[in-house]
Structure 1
């Protein structure tokens, strides 16, 4: 219905750039000089989506004059949302607004931004409370008539209003018109700034990665202390609770489990914990090199083990892990699943709900890993 639309592929490219670099963006802009600018980025992205995806459905040819006038206002206000979103994003990413003083579209005595603001005001934003008639502020007040097709006024453009002043000495009415093609060209130029914004996001992320690679992560011979160093670095380099946080936290819990079980199981646990040093080293290397992908850590299966021998126990394992990791899980529901794992030889007979959760987690992963190696 409406041909004055915006390129959706550019918006999708911008959204993909946000998604591809979300760890960096969230970590950097969630608290940027004391302000949560990530919220602003998300808001701008959402309203750009609403605007770009909604533009094709604005009916500028409706048969009813008043309905059509409101749709013209809807078009202008949608363009204004795009403009505001772009301006805010430029501020967030500390980019110069190169079109601030541009007047190449409307060729008026004032910049295009100011002239567009006049169009917005006259055609419905606040038509009964105007301080300007041609984009230049005066002491007079002006009031716009209803908007109508240009064919009804004999003026140039697509739509026009008549402006009346509260000053009886002003020659009136003043005809004020606008062209759909012009306001479309105006917003396309500003919307196209997303292209350079995408490049800036990638560049900023690249600079951050290189800076972090130059910052050497501390070493410690104590594995728990080393893991505590890594979890702090993970927060700095990726974000609090993001990236490798869960894996590192799991390792800390496994290495600090009290091991209140018989000697035989202690030996199994020690053997398993010894194998985890490979994973600790991989996590160190991944964080140091700023590499965040599944391929960066090949030993992750050691704490996410699912032995094929116990394929028939997947549901029971799922519930036990939920009991271990979800504080809101009803503890009494795990008894049946623990008995199932004991009966199949995956857990020793003395395990129960009274077993320390860290010990239970350690025993379970140690047994799963041993059986995984056998297969």
Structure 2
């Protein structure tokens, strides 16, 4: 099976699902009151399990009983892939249709000519291990014999289908492994069709939101409040949300120390291009790394000297738990800056945060 299917395809599909600022998650985590993203994850997981099993499956054993169970394992793996593909189709393409419905391309000498490939595969699955003693075919109960090597060119294995009815003739169902593998590859390759649909859905989502103009505010803080709402609506990207939240803290902070007021005003002015860049990117639905990222405004060597304290400090700022070492962090900040920024734990958290940003932005 090593050259029949590869997990590259499902891995690439998974990467697509998780890309574009988690577009699929944002749209399908609550689709009409249903968490379809969880379904998508389950389908991807079982496709991965099945494909990797097939990639590593051993050659068929010469012992007929062992071979029969290997065949059943093959059929079960194909069924898991097939069912997952069907459900992914329903999530992303059309919930009211099934892919390949009505097609008769994979199985040539089928016992039941009225069945399409999808249905005939289910018949094979039932007869070769899924429920061989509970079959319903041609308006009669039937029971499958144990599989045996086929004596005809029509297949690799054969089962007899016994009837419950007296004097009803047995039927012979032949299994051709190459036909099974063709059924597998056509269904697995359908992931490419679904992937194209996801790309189209994302493009349409981008186009739709990019046409919805973001309100412009003259006041930076009011603009940030607007951007916070828009960011959550436009893919809810953690990176952009974090930048906006930090900017809101900075612009909400009011510095009263006379020596720090002009410094704070200049620092806030330097952030205006970042606010405009965020607004532009959200408007265009172009969620990429920001050229004016606020982290680029770190000029001081203190970022290295205080690396431990700063990491813990910012964790406290963005978290919801008190850090009993906060006094120590602020004392360290005051010590290395000779008290220039007057860090005090009695200040509002957004003011302490702004002072830390000012400290890192200055060339001391």
Match of 1:118 in 2: 123
Cα shift readout 1:218-265 (whole Å, capped 9, x = no counterpart): 1112322211111111122112x5341111111112222254x52323
Match of 1:141 in 2: 141
Separation in structure 2 between the aligned mates of residue 85 and residue 35 of structure 1, nearest angstrom: 18
**Displacement of 1:118:** 0.3
Match of 1:129 in 2: 134
Contact 1:90 1:97 in 2 (8 A): yes
**SS at 1:45's partner residue?**
helix
Separation in structure 2 between the aligned mates of residue 141 and residue 73 of structure 1, nearest angstrom: 22
**SS at 1:70's partner residue?**
helix
**Displacement of 1:279:** 1.4
Match of 1:246 in 2: 242
**SS at 1:285's partner residue?**
helix
Normalising by structure 1, we get a TM-score of 0.87
Match of 1:191 in 2: 188
Separation in structure 1 between the aligned mates of residue 338 and residue 68 of structure 2, nearest angstrom: 73
Separation in structure 2 between the aligned mates of residue 212 and residue 243 of structure 1, nearest angstrom: 19
Match of 1:103 in 2: 104
Separation in structure 1 between the aligned mates of residue 232 and residue 350 of structure 2, nearest angstrom: 23
Unaligned runs of 5+ in 2: none
Q: 1:282-293 alignment to 2 at 5 Å? A: 282-293=277-288
1:170 aligns with 2:163: no
Match of 1:237 in 2: 234
Q: 1:1-375 alignment to 2 at 5 Å? A: 2=1, 5-95=4-94, 97-107=98-108, 108=110, 109=113, 110-132=115-137, 136=138, 138=139, 140-150=140-150, 156-172=154-170, 174-239=171-236, 242-259=238-255, 261-294=256-289, 297-301=290-294, 305=298, 307-328=300-321, 330-345=322-337, 348=340, 350-371=342-363
**Displacement of 1:63:** 4.5
Moved segments of 4+, more than 4 Å? 95-98, 346-350
Unaligned runs of 5+ in 1: none
**Displacement of 1:60:** 4.4
**SS at 2:180's partner residue?**
helix
**Displacement of 1:347:** 5.7
**SS at 1:161's partner residue?**
strand
Separation in structure 2 between the aligned mates of residue 238 and residue 369 of structure 1, nearest angstrom: 31
Contact 1:331 1:353 in 2 (8 A): no
Cα shift readout 1:68-87 (whole Å, capped 9, x = no counterpart): 22221110010011111111
Contact 2:86 2:99 in 1 (8 A): no
**Displacement of 1:56:** 2.2
**Displacement of 1:286:** 1.1
Contact 1:253 1:358 in 2 (8 A): yes
Change (3 A) 1:118 1:4: farther
Normalising by structure 2, we get a TM-score of 0.90
Cα shift readout 1:322-362 (whole Å, capped 9, x = no counterpart): 1211223x521233232222211076474243332211101
CA RMSD of aligned residues (A): 2.4
**Displacement of 1:182:** 0.5
